[in-house]
Structure 1
């Protein structure tokens, strides 16, 4: 028989296949697999590109090199040879004045073109890309703090400038505390006339570069090889300036959703194929009796699977594109320009993945179908599938790992997922099926059809073992994904709680301590003042760092600059002591508390000594405890905190942070009028941007979760429909023998509520295990138990199965069949 003839036969049988519940369930599983895989692949790719563009817009370029000195000309020439565009920025903090008002501001002196990515937004809108010579653009915070408006002339050094526009938003704000100060934008041609930049001035120089990805990446690698300790390089392809932690967790959750969605669909494809192949065994025996050979039967069903996949691929791709449009609508405030167009190969990910799963999972039942003997027409005991040999099983396992690894980008994750799925299904199915008989015995005492229920369970024992394992794992995956998303959302929300400080005050002199504290108390501002002094680490256990640490360790930021040091009699309430103890309040020893990551980087433990240089004086201190610090808390945090006796006699200033509400600008102006020597740093704009990002990520995660849960619920219903189809003739026979429709309905409800309850109980155990692993390994969240799962999942599983049974009976034509 020719291949063309086999294909024609496959197309002729398509109509009868569509009337088969098993084939329709398989098609639905393929459509869901294609939709989920395509949607998550496209969303991940487009979100990465969109946030990369957003990060470039915030960075002002694709690559930003910061230095305390102007960039070398040879680097600019090399960038030009790689086809990159560049521009230079000079940024510094200085006082501006108007009449009697003075304010510390951050000045950016720029050249055209600027910025290279993103755009400057001003009010009123300006025709020029940057301020004209003799004019400046100022942020609204600056105008509010000194009580001026557009059109006012200000003094900057030896020059006068007219404010011609409000700088509403701008990329490339810079780094460090100077980036948070109210900013002015001036034309770099005016810089020399101000005479502000003098030898010894603390100036920041930035070189911005933009171009195609290959050129930027090549230039990035070129610069990385010759970076000096005082230089810092940021790239949109290797750094995400906007909310790194939130984006990392969002990416992890996206991959997790993809993995869970694929596992759900893989389970359904496996079960549907097995059901379909069992139903096709008599037809295979008939085809063999008509002269069709084994390889022809194998080709016939391969053509059928390919035709089904082709239909599912088209429908799944269309559905995923619709979901992408919905997601773009939900993320419109996160990515105002919309999601960028995805590369063509990402549209093929879902269809190719579902094809790979179908062929790999379908290989075993297809081979077994082709081996069915002709005697199966006469003897039903011949219609059984023989197990594959070990080499064939190994080949299927390796192929499945390969397909998932290509999609997830991690062979280890794919291997662990498949092994966990196999062991979880086997364990849950075995335990649940073992509990079926005693559970049915208890029910038999209270229901008339209890004995018949026990007989049905024994008859379906083999299938129940498989079904219970799959259903338990399916419910466990859904509940684990829900728990992980909830805990992830809580982590995001805890990053920026409502009382997150949005104001920093530095350069507080000791004699201002008492009046400032009283002023803040009267203004009902919750605050805590910390002493601060600058110092360097010079020795580690009486030896220079270069003699104890590797080249990589010596690059740690703490060894290449002065650190902000502090002292305290009590541990900060928002720092966690993870090793050691805090010193007594009256201690006279030289003791320090060191931040956890710094201790790990410098390989320090309790009892080690560090040497310091502060204000020209050298001394040692012993590590007393190690702290865990949340750097994104927007509270004063320090790598190293001393016991009070060590530093209190050195010249020092104080720092504090606090949160203000709607009257922020008025409060800031009054505070600076009362204490003009203070430096007030407003971080509210950054917090608002981060909060907006987190809100949108939560919405995106909720959408992904909802889609995955919906797919899971659809798979549950398909599974129940398949099972109910197996009961149709049995229930009709029971009615012929004298049972009523209500009794057969009661029998179905008893059986499926028992299956649902046991599946839910197994799912609760698996959920605790899966959630614990995910929290600890992937999301870096604390381990927690969920006692309510042990009640809600068994009850929810039973209820889900009962509802599915009632819907399935009404829609599958029971009444017509039973009445016939």
Structure 2
């Protein structure tokens, strides 16, 4: 015997032989294991591959999207002579002017807000401008019979009841609709749009009267460099522009950054879906642990035999670790295959829906990320149950089969390995995230929910164990099943808790956002924003509104656009701002000046300047943004307005209530800052009580007919458009998040299946003692119902807290608990637990007693 022990099998190669030999018996009991790993890996690999495909699609079409190799964008003004001459030396140049305007149908008085785009003869430098009628852009926009031509989105024609050939008033001019836009190559470069596109020739602009000093118009100059310009050449031109015209105030973008807003949204959405996929993996990890525990329960005799023959605990661990990794490899392989196919399927299914063509391909880096997540998840949930049998002597293993007592914790090495694997999993998720703060919060919340679910499961078992004896036999049996050794309580609570908590949180966030848009904001917001009111028209415009409305609230402020170029002497291009305030440093912002402190401005630090102040330019900065950017009273900022850099000192910070949609600005300057600068005015109109839609439309017709160059934005229309966007996004998020619920269902089914072995013994003995099938079904139904209700309550609390945090702390809104969501969550939990539980129980109750009793 000693000689045999001396040659005890401990080698890895021998462990591999034993592991593969046992796998010949098939994968029974491990289908849930494989499915859980495959689902999570497929979600992560597929989402990241689709995101990469969209990014590659944007890059491939960068020149068409941007409209050139380089784009120079300026607000309020056209380029100066020196700037224009320099641009002409670079290559072919095309200029485009964009602004919002009111389009009116003269015959009916119907009108609509449009995104107007005035192009020159060189447009487009890249891509194809296609018309429904098949004609050329030059011919469609040319002047015929005294009327300039125009082309429009089909939605504008549908809204105003127009057809090609009909006339349309835009500003002070009348244009004829020549054709319908079929494809606009640079549409994505324009950012968010509040209305349909209307395109005219730049030669028609003077007749419209829309562009006046201070008008909110953006000029874009696209440059097509000679030949096939390299990225180095493009960067060189941008550097030269900054050096030659440091005070131009233009925003320069290259073809590599053609649609930054879209790219940011893709990255954010991909990050969220990746985290959802990771949550699905974590939920699936519970299934992995359940499957391994159930599998090891069936292998106790084998492990005991190994040890009796001299094998070490490490050898047994190696054998079953190899088996687990082999099974995980199958699941990961399936997940990677699905993930690799998803970009091709998404590209085909969403063709014509996505704003850009998805560059479908197999992306090794993204698939490698799914592989890494899959391996780490499998290890994180397998090391603990595999390690628990390492140091247990054979006698304890055999005794454990009878007593069912909980085994001791695994060795410290397995605890450390589990902790390291979990930390690596979380670290990679945070490191690769687009917004690391959100990823950290998400990971922390998921980890907290996981720990809390474990504690909740143990608390349920402890309470059930200490409950007084009840008279009902079925309820007494159900309570005993909840706390007995090997109970399903931890598996059921863990599997359903995370998935339901995530869905509850998302549903509450969606519901609260809708409530904010349709109730709170809609009630507090003004009815109209009027833009581009010229200084010489302001008094007459206000008089008209006062005469047309009763008890209306009017507010008017001067408005300019400017771009922050430096903070405390540091160029904004060198500042890595937190994601929640980075938007302030991108592009240009609306700015104003005020002599008196506005009524809705609550100062948080500093003092407002005197009404007759005439010293160094001062500025009031929004409080939260100032804190996030590290700005305090006395710091200097520089803003470029109309091509002129203006440096101002922060005199105070103030709290801004953005939800009201009232007139608010991040930057409010002292009046002397812009003395003599041309600018227009912004005015809002609202009522304290509700007014009818007909009354609003009457005012809109009156204003547009008298002041055709003033742009009116009806807030209800804008809110409706945003609400539709939120609804589409919510459905996409809920659909993606259902992956987690599917994983929860898989784990739940696996947990119940794993518990069937012990349930068979119970059912047979109880039936032998006289229990009827109906009473047993009732007992099991009560058990599953109790677990489902408790899990639903936890999901409501955890999901509610998560939603509250996102709404109030991240988005700055107000939160209310929505009872319909609560009832839905409870119903889902009950249906899943009771439904799957009874399906498994029905199979258990159908077992024949004799074979089971012979093996007891």
Q: Same fold (TM over 0.5)?
A: yes
Q: Residues of 1 paired with 2:554 and 2:482: CA distance?
A: 68
Q: Cα–Cα, structure 1 residues 150 and 257, in superposed 2: closer, same or farther, change >3 Å?
A: same
Contact (CA 8 Å) 1:50, 1:335: kept in 2 or not? Answer: no
Q: Residues of 1 paired with 2:69 and 2:470: CA distance?
A: 73
- Which of 107, 131, 136 is 1:122 aligned to? 131
In structure 2, the partner of 1:253 is: 272
CA-to-partner distance for each residue in 1:638-663, whole Å, 9 max, x for gaps?
44669999999999864336799999
Determine if the alignment matches structure 1 residue 64 to structure 2 residue 71. yes
Determine if the alignment matches structure 1 residue 109 to structure 2 residue 141. no
CA-to-partner distance for each residue in 1:603-645, whole Å, 9 max, x for gaps?
7779999999999xx9x99968724264995x75444669999
CA-to-partner distance for each residue in 1:29-80, whole Å, 9 max, x for gaps?
22323333333333443455557778876543575233535769999999x9
**Secondary structure, in 3 states, of the residue corresponding to 1:335?**
coil
Q: Residues of 1 paired with 2:394 and 2:260: CA distance?
A: 68
**Secondary structure, in 3 states, of the residue corresponding to 2:374?**
helix
Q: Residues of 2 paired with 1:698 and 1:547: CA distance?
A: 37
In structure 1, the partner of 2:783 is: 751
Determine if the alignment matches structure 1 residue 286 to structure 2 residue 295. no
- Which of 649, 656, 663 is 1:628 aligned to? 656
Q: Residues of 1 paired with 2:168 and 2:373: CA distance?
A: 64
TM-score where L is the length of structure 2: 0.69
Q: Residues of 1 paired with 2:170 and 2:281: CA distance?
A: 64
Contact (CA 8 Å) 2:594, 2:669: kept in 1 or not? Answer: yes
In structure 1, the partner of 2:502 is: 480
In structure 1, the partner of 2:110 is: none
Q: Residues of 2 paired with 1:8 and 1:611: CA distance?
A: 71
**Secondary structure, in 3 states, of the residue corresponding to 2:593?**
strand
Contact (CA 8 Å) 1:720, 1:808: kept in 2 or not? Answer: yes
CA-to-partner distance for each residue in 1:728-762, whole Å, 9 max, x for gaps?
11221222233333333333334333333444444
Determine if the alignment matches structure 1 residue 37 to structure 2 residue 44. yes
Point out the more displaced range, 389-398 or 407-416. 407-416
In structure 2, the partner of 1:542 is: none
In structure 2, the partner of 1:530 is: 556
In structure 1, the partner of 2:6 is: none
**Secondary structure, in 3 states, of the residue corresponding to 1:444?**
coil
| Offset, 1:722 | 2.2
Determine if the alignment matches structure 1 residue 362 to structure 2 residue 382. yes
| Offset, 1:807 | 1.5
Q: Cα–Cα, structure 1 residues 449 and 693, in superposed 2: closer, same or farther, change >3 Å?
A: closer
Q: Which has the higher contact order (CA 8 A, sep 6+)?
A: 2
Q: Residues of 1 paired with 2:100 and 2:351: CA distance?
A: 38
Q: Cα–Cα, structure 1 residues 211 and 272, in superposed 2: closer, same or farther, change >3 Å?
A: farther
Determine if the alignment matches structure 1 residue 138 to structure 2 residue 166. no
Contact (CA 8 Å) 2:567, 2:638: kept in 1 or not? Answer: no
Q: Residues of 2 paired with 1:422 and 1:129: CA distance?
A: 61
1:156-195 alignment runs, 5 A limit? 170=184, 172=186, 186=201
| Offset, 1:304 | 2.8
Q: Residues of 2 paired with 1:553 and 1:311: CA distance?
A: 47
Contact (CA 8 Å) 2:234, 2:254: kept in 1 or not? Answer: no
Q: Cα–Cα, structure 1 residues 170 and 206, in superposed 2: closer, same or farther, change >3 Å?
A: same
In structure 1, the partner of 2:581 is: none
In structure 2, the partner of 1:564 is: 592
In structure 1, the partner of 2:331 is: 312
1:222-261 alignment runs, 5 A limit? 223=238, 227=242, 228-229=246-247, 230-234=249-253, 240=259, 242=261, 250-251=269-270, 253-261=272-280
CA-to-partner distance for each residue in 1:242-264, whole Å, 9 max, x for gaps?
57896676455324423322221
Q: Cα–Cα, structure 1 residues 11 and 234, in superposed 2: closer, same or farther, change >3 Å?
A: same
Contact (CA 8 Å) 1:493, 1:694: kept in 2 or not? Answer: no
Q: Residues of 2 paired with 1:656 and 1:818: CA distance?
A: 87
Q: Residues of 2 paired with 1:786 and 1:153: CA distance?
A: 46
| Offset, 1:802 | 2.5
Determine if the alignment matches structure 1 residue 801 to structure 2 residue 833. yes
Q: Residues of 2 paired with 1:63 and 1:492: CA distance?
A: 39
Q: Cα–Cα, structure 1 residues 553 and 417, in superposed 2: closer, same or farther, change >3 Å?
A: closer
In structure 2, the partner of 1:83 is: none
| Offset, 1:265 | 1.5
Determine if the alignment matches structure 1 residue 656 to structure 2 residue 656. no
TM-score where L is the length of structure 1: 0.71
Determine if the alignment matches structure 1 residue 507 to structure 2 residue 531. no
Q: Residues of 1 paired with 2:451 and 2:627: CA distance?
A: 42
**Secondary structure, in 3 states, of the residue corresponding to 1:207?**
strand
Q: Residues of 2 paired with 1:514 and 1:413: CA distance?
A: 45
CA-to-partner distance for each residue in 1:496-551, whole Å, 9 max, x for gaps?
988985864522614413553157649x9x8845142669999xxxxxx9996555
Contact (CA 8 Å) 2:531, 2:681: kept in 1 or not? Answer: no
1:188-227 alignment runs, 5 A limit? 204=219, 206-208=221-223, 216=231, 219-220=234-235, 223=238, 227=242
In structure 1, the partner of 2:706 is: 674
Q: Residues of 2 paired with 1:696 and 1:211: CA distance?
A: 42
Point out the more displaced range, 690-699 or 589-598. 589-598
CA-to-partner distance for each residue in 1:364-383, whole Å, 9 max, x for gaps?
44455566655568655799
Q: Residues of 1 paired with 2:116 and 2:31: CA distance?
A: 68
Aligned pairs, number: 780
Q: Residues of 1 paired with 2:849 and 2:309: CA distance?
A: 32
Determine if the alignment matches structure 1 residue 436 to structure 2 residue 468. no
In structure 1, the partner of 2:578 is: none
Q: Residues of 1 paired with 2:769 and 2:475: CA distance?
A: 17
- Which of 719, 742, 749 is 1:717 aligned to? 749
Contact (CA 8 Å) 1:485, 1:705: kept in 2 or not? Answer: no
Q: Cα–Cα, structure 1 residues 470 and 294, in superposed 2: closer, same or farther, change >3 Å?
A: same
Determine if the alignment matches structure 1 residue 701 to structure 2 residue 733. yes
Contact (CA 8 Å) 1:432, 1:759: kept in 2 or not? Answer: no
1:392-791 alignment runs, 5 A limit? 392-407=414-429, 409-410=432-433, 424-439=449-464, 442=467, 444-448=469-473, 456=481, 459-460=484-485, 463-464=486-487, 467-468=489-490, 471-472=493-494, 474-488=496-510, 490-491=512-513, 504-507=531-534, 509-517=537-545, 521=549, 528-532=554-558, 550=570, 552=572, 563-565=591-593, 571=599, 577=602, 579=604, 595-596=622-623, 600=627, 626-628=654-656, 630=658, 636-639=663-666, 654-656=681-683, 671-675=703-707, 678=710, 694-775=726-807
| Offset, 1:266 | 1.9
| Offset, 1:335 | 0.4
CA-to-partner distance for each residue in 1:82-113, whole Å, 9 max, x for gaps?
xxxx7442649999xxxx9xx9986432526x
Determine if the alignment matches structure 1 residue 389 to structure 2 residue 399. no
| Offset, 1:324 | 6.0
**Secondary structure, in 3 states, of the residue corresponding to 2:284?**
helix
| Offset, 1:353 | 2.6
Contact (CA 8 Å) 2:152, 2:199: kept in 1 or not? Answer: no
| Offset, 1:232 | 0.6
Q: Cα–Cα, structure 1 residues 8 and 655, in superposed 2: closer, same or farther, change >3 Å?
A: same
Contact (CA 8 Å) 2:344, 2:361: kept in 1 or not? Answer: no
**Structure 2 regions of 5+ residues with no counterpart?**
1-8, 107-113, 576-583, 687-691
